[in-house]
Amino acid sequence: MDAGELKKILKGISDGSVSIDEAMEKLRNFPYSDLGFARIDHHRELRTGYPEIVYCAGKTPEQVRAIFTVMQEHENNIIGTRAGKELFEYISPFFPDALYHDVARIISIQKKRLTPPPARIAVITAGTSDIPVAEEAAVTAELLGNNVLRIYDAGVAGIHRLVDKLPEIRECRVAIVIAGMEGALASVVGGLVNMPVIAVPTSIGYGASFQGISALLAMLTSCAAGVTVVNIDNGFGAGFSASRINRM
């Protein structure tokens, strides 16, 4: 709620067009719907520039359905992440427009399509097993109105595979680098480009990869400046942040 809106309400009181109780109500009545188990924040699109994204893991199908229903009434675009196939099958009959992105595990309902800016977001993975996280990032970025350049399986053990794609990467405006195991790809890309790099550690690996901790630590301590990091397997977060940067 910014100073302009506030002034308008106060003026309304002053000139009698708004009663004190109405003002109280307006100041108090934040624009969200209370479902009891979930409060949907319709205001967020204004406040943070994007609609609320529904993190489906840990919610019952009934809860997700109820949340979607309220969101739909407000004509929001809907993005549901970490959504299993079964959830989509339950949800689908109620929302005929819903699409399922199965590798990304995302359900989307798009009411208004956003015009992408000219530059793309590069989404690069070290290995084949990192693709589901990469797709979560790429699909998120696309749904939020961006074009994406996908480069998968370009890991450090064969650097020439990455070098080959550098000219195309350098035309992007943000790079998302996704790697498990030792996560070295983030440092290598970070040393070769001059755009913001968002690194996503994945839980791919075994033993001392500790479900992504090794990659996470490696990315946080990268010797390449310009690299920032999100949570393990958080493709959504990377896609969301990249979109914020790309659409500035």
Interaction with a copy of itself in 86-145: which residues (CB under 8 A)?
Answer: 126-129, 131
Of 69-77, 84-92, 105-113, 161-169, the window that binds a copy of itself (rule: CB under 8 A) is 161-169
Beta bridge partners of 198: 176, 228
The residue among 37 and 97 lying less far from a copy of itself, judged by its C-beta, is 37
Q: Least CB distance from residue 142 to a copy of itself, whole Å?
A: 16
The torsion angle over the Cα atoms of residues 102, 84, 204 and 222, rounded to 10 degrees, is 80
Q: Least CB distance from residue 106 to a copy of itself, whole Å?
A: 14
Q: What are phi and psi of 122, to 5 degrees?
A: -85, 130
Q: Least CB distance from residue 162 to a copy of itself, whole Å?
A: 9
Binding mask 210-229 for a copy of itself (x = CB under 8 A): xxxxxxxxxxxxxxxxxxxx
d(CA 144, CA 154) in angstroms, rounded, equals 26
The residue among 98 and 193 lying less far from a copy of itself, judged by its C-beta, is 193
d(CA 5, CA 120) in angstroms, rounded, equals 36
Q: Least CB distance from residue 147 to a copy of itself, whole Å?
A: 16
Q: Least CB distance from residue 141 to a copy of itself, whole Å?
A: 12
How many residues at the interface with a copy of itself, by CB under 8 A? 110
The residue among 84 and 226 lying less far from a copy of itself, judged by its C-beta, is 226
Q: Which amino acid is at 189?
A: V
Q: Could you tell me if 234 and 82 are in contact, meaning their C-beta atoms sit under 8 angstroms apart? A: no
Pick one of 137, 139, 143, 198: the residue that binds a copy of itself (CB under 8 A): 198
Pick one of 137, 155, 172, 175: the residue that binds a copy of itself (CB under 8 A): 155
